[in-house]
Amino acid sequence: MHLINKNILVTGADGFIGSHLVEELVRSGYNVRAFVLYNSFNSWGWLDHSPKEIRDNLDVFAGDVRDPHGIKQAMKGCNAVIHLAALIAIPYSYYSPDTYVDTNIKGTLNILQAARELEILKVVHTSTSEVYGTAKFVPITEDHPLQGQSPYSASKIGADQLAMSFYYSFNTPVAIVRPFNTYGPRQSARAVIPTVITQIASGKRKIKLGALHPTRDFNYVKDTVKGFIAALESDNSIGQIINIGSNYEISIGDTAKLIAEVMDVEIEIETEEIRLRPEKSEVERLWADNSKAKNLLGWEPIYSGREGLKRGLQETATWFSNPENLKHYKADIYNI
């Protein structure tokens, strides 16, 4: 699918992954309309910190994915949509599940309805490895059962199923990218890697975390972005659900130790009750089978294995340790 020089709408463009994706799309020659959440500060989120040459080449549209009229207006004149806008914090979904249904499910429906009516050439929808729940087998393929172990993951399962239903019912050209645990510069400190790094960078050596035994498959943001673009460009992705993961499993506790090694400090880890998920909601094990992405898209992670993770952590720690970046975070406050 030849979309270079075509118009691409990216929802959630103001967020962590979205801002990195927008920058790479612009550098690659796409015309990008960046959909950001409307706010009275006229903030474009992390895009405010993008290089001037990126910002000068953006068409920014402020709105809300929960508004079907605004979404359709934003999508007019676009050839494809990469839909990342979502509420993603798992702890907050325990407090406010209704907002997750509105944003993640209804917001996705609004994208799909507009794509159908406007005859959009490609919709790349963002899923999450959390839809698998605790692994029943590893590595996890796209055929793994879905388990909604949190309101967040349940809302993403609903959104994924809606996306596929439009493909089956209306032949809407949908591709679903299912990233495993993406990390890197600009990530929210509610996520475990920035939690550890910001505490260390702020001078702490007693690090507060939740459960240490669960395992994750961490994927550096540059690899995740390349996965999205590969799915956008490939005809093979239509009607498919595709894992984007590193195919490397590591525990939360060992990840914290590796971060300390990279940052050359000695730490003590303290489990804090407020950071623990409800017992049955904790996803105990995630490990991606990424062979489908390799076979269909020609994608594979550059930051793979322990050494790749270590390299990605080094780049992430360097970014967070810069006082100009660290000042955006409140390392003393647990962010749900």
Residues 238 and 279 placed together within one structural domain of the fold: no
In a domain? residue 335: no
Residues 159 and 208 placed together within one structural domain of the fold: no
Residues 139 and 264 placed together within one structural domain of the fold: no
Per residue in 307-330, pLDDT (tens digit) is 999 999 999 999 999 999 999 999
Calculate mean pLDDT across residues 231-248.
98
Residues 80 and 103 placed together within one structural domain of the fold: yes
Band (pLDDT 50/70/90 cuts) for residue 331 is confident
Per residue in 9-57, pLDDT (tens digit) is 999 999 999 999 999 999 999 999 999 999 999 999 999 999 999 999 9
In a domain? residue 197: yes
Q: For residue 191, what are its two tokens?
A: 């996520």
Residues 42 and 100 placed together within one structural domain of the fold: yes
C-alpha atoms less than 13 angstroms from C-alpha of 160 in its C-beta half-sphere: 25
Residues 27 and 51 placed together within one structural domain of the fold: yes
Residues 95 and 225 placed together within one structural domain of the fold: yes
Calculate mean pLDDT across residues 3-7.
84
CATH code, domain carrying 119:
3.40.50.720
Using CA atoms, how far apart are residues 212 and 198, in angstroms rounded to an integer?
A: 18
Annotate 236-269 with b (16+ C-beta within 10 A) or e (fewer): bbbebbbbbbbbbbbebbebbbbbbebbeeebee
If DSSP codes are grouped into helix, strand and coil, which group holds residue 145? coil
Residues 103 and 125 placed together within one structural domain of the fold: yes
Calculate mean pLDDT across residues 71-87.
98
Calculate mean pLDDT across residues 256-285.
96
CA angle 133, 208, 257 (to 5 degrees): 75
If DSSP codes are grouped into helix, strand and coil, which group holds residue 243? strand
Residues 239 and 255 placed together within one structural domain of the fold: no
Q: For residue 19, what are its two tokens?
A: 């801002």
Q: Give the sign of the dihedral formed by CA 8, CA 14, CA 16, CA 19.
A: positive
Per residue in 151-193, pLDDT (tens digit) is 999 999 999 999 999 999 999 999 999 999 999 999 999 999 9
Residues 27 and 88 placed together within one structural domain of the fold: yes
Across 74-161, where does the E strand assignment appear? Answer: 80-83, 122-126
Mean pLDDT of the chain: 97
| Residues in CB range of 220: below 8 A, 6 or more apart | 182, 183, 184, 246, 301, 302, 303, 308, 309, 312, 315, 316
Calculate mean pLDDT across residues 262-284.
96
Q: For residue 72, what are its two tokens?
A: 């359709």
Band (pLDDT 50/70/90 cuts) for residue 1 is confident
Q: Which helix (H) or strand (E) holds 60?
A: strand 58-63
In a domain? residue 298: no
In a domain? residue 296: no
In a domain? residue 333: no
Give the number of other CB atoms < 10 A from CB of residue 94.
15
Using CA atoms, how far apart are residues 251 and 173, in angstroms rounded to an integer?
A: 37
**Which structural domain range is residue 109 located in?**
7-183+219-244
Residues 83 and 22 placed together within one structural domain of the fold: yes
The answer on pLDDT for 283 being more than 80 is: yes
- What pLDDT is attached to residue 334? 87
Calculate mean pLDDT across residues 61-87.
98
Calculate mean pLDDT across residues 217-231.
98
Residues 151 and 136 placed together within one structural domain of the fold: yes
In a domain? residue 112: yes
Using CA atoms, how far apart are residues 158 and 148, in angstroms rounded to an integer?
A: 10
Number of domains in the chain: 2
Band (pLDDT 50/70/90 cuts) for residue 3 is confident
- What pLDDT is attached to residue 4? 77
Band (pLDDT 50/70/90 cuts) for residue 336 is confident
In a domain? residue 138: yes
CATH code, domain carrying 257:
3.90.25.10
In a domain? residue 299: no
| Backbone φ and ψ of 216, nearest 5° | -140, 160
Using CA atoms, how far apart are residues 251 and 318, in angstroms rounded to an integer?
A: 22
The answer on pLDDT for 335 being more than 90 is: no
- What pLDDT is attached to residue 262? 98
